[in-house]
Chain A
Amino acid sequence: MEEKNKKPKGKILSWLDERYDLSGLLEFAKKKSVPKFRETIWYYFGGVALLLFVVQVISGILLLMYYKGTEDLAFESVHFISTKVSFGWLIRSVHSWSANLMVLSVFIHMFSVYFLKGFRKPRELTWYTGFGLLAISMAFGFSGYLLPWNELAFFATKVGTDIVGQVPLIGEPALKLLRGGTDVTGATLSRFFGFHVAIFPGIFVILLTLHLLMIQRQGIAEPEDYQKLPDDEKKTIPFFPNFAMRELLIWLIVINILAILAVFFPWELGNKADPFSSAPVGIKPEWYFLFMFQVFKFLPGEILFLPGELVGVLLFGIGVLLWAIVPVWDKKTARGNKNRLLTYVGIFVIIFIIVFTILGFILD
């Protein structure tokens, strides 16, 4: 108890404490607590995603030092980074791997919040901002994929943006807006570069700030079962230092995993994109788009007088929209009852994504 009231030691710290009330801040952090129960592990993934985002920002800024976002130079500059610049290979590989791990941890984070019903009142807005963050993460991935201007990325972008063109009414103009013209060209590259390094980071940071502020304001969500426990049975972990240290531990491990991946599985560059060459065999989007890509492959050409692709786009659109507004239609949980249907839907979605992703990898 005594320790708690101790003022920070050391000249600098006390100097700072005098001015910014560090001990007060510490006090605040120490009072915060995280519920301790079987599924506490899932609480770390938001933090992991945050760490990876920071890694993305730093490695991205470093890549910007050498990257040239034009049709003629994009490929060459990336090649230059990964061969001529010392540790360029590392920065590039870390950026690519970290992007993938980030999307993965954002997905895990989202599903854990979904299953633990973390989106319930009063945390609807946290869920919506989180959903926005997921969407932008994927958009980051999609736009970043094109930037090395290699064959695979070029055609994957072509196919990916084509799907956007299928959206009724707004499809055509949206496609033009995305591509900066009717086709994937150097203009698309410039556009994607702009999205990737300016527009998306801006929106992402705003949403992320809101997301974090809301969590700070409302405290961490407690799962249903935990909430029902009598107060004296509610076990908690102090946010500081215990939870923070655990998080730090995981961060260290994640960073090392990143380094291992970057060293042993350096990101391939492939061949420079040539708009007039035929599409290479086995073009695939990034894995987190793969299940959609695969579903579109299975769609018949025509479903009930409508083009198959259109039906696909519509179904996906409705599905994603329903998922996004789950706080609105999930009345049962809101009333404090268990909503089994919600859990089943979640399991179905996970199985669906996993199965089609695997199919996408196996089938050509």
Chain B
Amino acid sequence: MKNKIINIPVSVLLLILSFYTLPAQSTDQCIKCHLDLDDTHAKLFKTDVHFTKGISCAGCHGGDATIDDMDVAMSKEKGFIGVPSRVNRFQVCINCHADENKMKRFGSNIPTDQYEKLKSSVHFQQSFNDQGPLADCVTCHSVHDIKNVKDPTSKVYPTKITELCGSCHSSAEFMKQYNPALPVDQVSKYKTSVHGHLNAKGDPNAAECASCHGSHEIQPVKDSRSLVYATNIPSVCSKCHSDAKLMAAYKIPTDQYEKYVKSVHGIALLEKGDLSSPSCNDCHGNHGAVPPGVESISKVCGTCHVLNMELFEQSPHKKAFDEHNYPECESCHSNHLVEPATDAMVGTQKPAVCVNCHSTEVNSKGYIVAGKMKSLIDSLKTEDSETKNILDKAGQKGMDVSDATFSLKDVRQVLIQSRTTIHAFNLDKFKEQIDEGFTIVNKAKINGEEAISDYYFRRIGLGFSTVIVTLLVIGLYIKLKKVEKKS
């Protein structure tokens, strides 16, 4: 009978697999009997994706589904294993799901690398009381009502997944057994995010847990293999946000990633590997991702650029920007494409950003201040490089100007500080800062000039004394000749 249904001899099959059978539904004695017994597991299993593919209870539990006699069908000789143990029940799943050929036999093209990925993931650590892996297949996919992931009733369907992950990750009680430091508010935060709102409305395209964290391969966020490791985040977000087709429905631009990688932050993070440089989530939030509001931009940037934020908030710009609803930092520095700030940003000529708002009328206050700031910082820079030249010249002449050269380092610091002070948009404050630099640079310049003139002074002095010595030598020589002649 069996031989008629399947081509492979069952004895061989049993030997290899012990529980692999493919009975015709009509003759599946397991389900028939268990349904008669009003077994809830059996009822659930009737809608399970495996059942629809013709896999019987015996496919997992072992035994012989073709035999009517309960004792024989569920006997050890027939390979019955009962309820697979918690410790290695995943073996039952990977028997097929890690084997490409078997999967094909059921007409399935789903990947077969789940176990490979899961094996090294954070979830596959051993649980604390020897109950096998922390989370295995069953933990997420359930037991008897496994559905295709695209089936809205699947436990891992996008709109369901937050609930699934939250069942552990939202429970402080549970999480503290494994990672007491890990927050448990991800789901509640998520619900406040744009992604969460869309998800709640049933949008399967909105990002959920697995979209960013991955599914089987989940790693702790500090592990560089993790999809949400700082340097991986931009590409994870861009998976959706750079997809013009996908984003069309939401009417938002798709050039953020492209801009970000060119920005000072993107270059620092992705090229230089500077993990302190912000990634997408550092400004937008992660689980509660929303675009920062116009008013809060300086606060968001200020989490890192503290001094600039403080100065800006005391500046006259703060009020004006609020009134006109200008985004604060972004107005001058842009958002995703933050370029390295240069001194060219200040002043009255493009690419200076001041004239974006301030009228270019020569008498307007903003125009005057911008011009003055620009000329102050420029002249300090010119003085600095001129002084450097003078000191170099003195150095080439072999004069020791190391002290003056060293003091020029302070000018560099003044310049850096003044570039921060600019954010107060206060000319007096700025001038005070720059003047400090002028004091240093002028002193160094005097030192350098003195060293150069000293260099010439030395040679003149030497020449002078050489002339005297030469005269003396000649005189002495004449005298000597005379004395010698006499004797």
Contact = CB atoms under 8 A, between A and B. Distances in A.
Judged by CB atoms under 8 Å, the answer to whether A and B touch is yes
Contacts of A259: 462, 465-466
Cβ-closest 9 pairs across A and B: A256-B469, A263-B462, A245-B480, A83-B400, A263-B458, A249-B476, A252-B469, A252-B473, A259-B462
Interface string B96-139: 00000000000000000000000000000000000000000000
Contacts of A269: 400
Contacts of A263: 458-459, 461-462
Nearest to A249: B476
Interface string B449-487: 000000000110110011001001100110110011001
B229 to A, nearest CB: 38
A253 interface: yes
Interface in B54-87: none
Nearest to B455: A263
A214 interface: no
Contacts of A79: 400, 402
A255 interface: yes
Interface string A210-251: 000000000000000000000000000010011001101100
Could you say which of A82, A238, A249 has the most chain B C-beta atoms within 10 Å of its C-beta? Answer: A249
A82 B400 contact: yes
Given A263-B458, A263-B462, A269-B400, A245 B483 contact: yes
A266 interface: yes
B253 interface: no
A268 to B, nearest CB: 9
Contact of B476 (A89, A248, A255, A266): A248
A315 B292 CA distance: 83
A173 to B, nearest CB: 41
B468 to A, nearest CB: 9
Nearest to B474: A249
Interface of B: 398, 400, 402-403, 458-459, 461-462, 465-466, 469, 472-473, 476-477, 479-480, 483-484, 487
A97 to B, nearest CB: 13
Interface string A27-52: 00000000000000000000000000
A260 interface: yes
Nearest to B470: A256
Given A83-B403, A241-B483, A252 B466 contact: no
A90 B458 CA distance: 9
A256 to B, nearest CB: 5
A266 B398 contact: yes
Contacts of B469: 252-253, 255-256
Contacts, number: 45
Nearest to B484: A242
B312 to A, nearest CB: 43
A246 B479 CA distance: 10
Given A82-B400, A89-B400, A249-B477, 8 more contacts: A79-B402, A83-B403, A90-B458, A238-B487, A248-B476, A252-B473, A259-B466, A263-B462
A253 B398 CA distance: 25
A242 B487 contact: yes
Given A238-B487, A252-B469, A269-B400, A260 B462 contact: yes
Given A256-B469, A259-B465, A260-B462, A245 B479 contact: yes
A238 B402 CA distance: 54
A83 B473 CA distance: 33
Contacts of B479: 245
25 contacts: A79-B402, A82-B400, A83-B400, A83-B402, A90-B458, A241-B483, A242-B483, A242-B484, A245-B476, A245-B479, A245-B480, A248-B476, A249-B473, A249-B476, A249-B477, A249-B480, A252-B469, A259-B462, A259-B465, A259-B466, A263-B459, A263-B461, A263-B462, A266-B398, A269-B400
A260 B466 CA distance: 9
Contacts of B473: 249, 252-253
Contacts of A238: 487
A252 B459 contact: no
Given A259-B465, A266-B398, A269-B400, A252 B472 contact: yes
A9 B313 CA distance: 92
A259 B463 CA distance: 10
Nearest to A246: B480
Contacts of A246: 480
Contacts of B461: 263
A90 B479 CA distance: 32
A147 B176 CA distance: 65
Contacts of B472: 252
Contacts of B466: 256, 259-260
A266 B466 CA distance: 17
B324 to A, nearest CB: 56
Contacts of A241: 483
A248 B473 CA distance: 9
Interface string A62-102: 00000000000000000100110000011000000000000
A345 B438 CA distance: 68
A241 B480 CA distance: 8
Contacts of A89: 400
Nearest to B463: A263
Interface in A263-293: 263, 266, 269
Nearest to A248: B476
Contacts of B484: 242
Nearest to A250: B473
A260 B461 CA distance: 10
A242 B482 CA distance: 10
Contacts of B398: 266
A79 B459 CA distance: 21
B409 to A, nearest CB: 17
A83 B465 CA distance: 22
A44 to B, nearest CB: 14
A253 B469 CA distance: 7
Contacts of A252: 469, 472-473, 476
A75 to B, nearest CB: 12
A241 B466 CA distance: 24
A224 to B, nearest CB: 27
Contacts of B477: 249
A242 B480 CA distance: 6
A248 B479 CA distance: 12
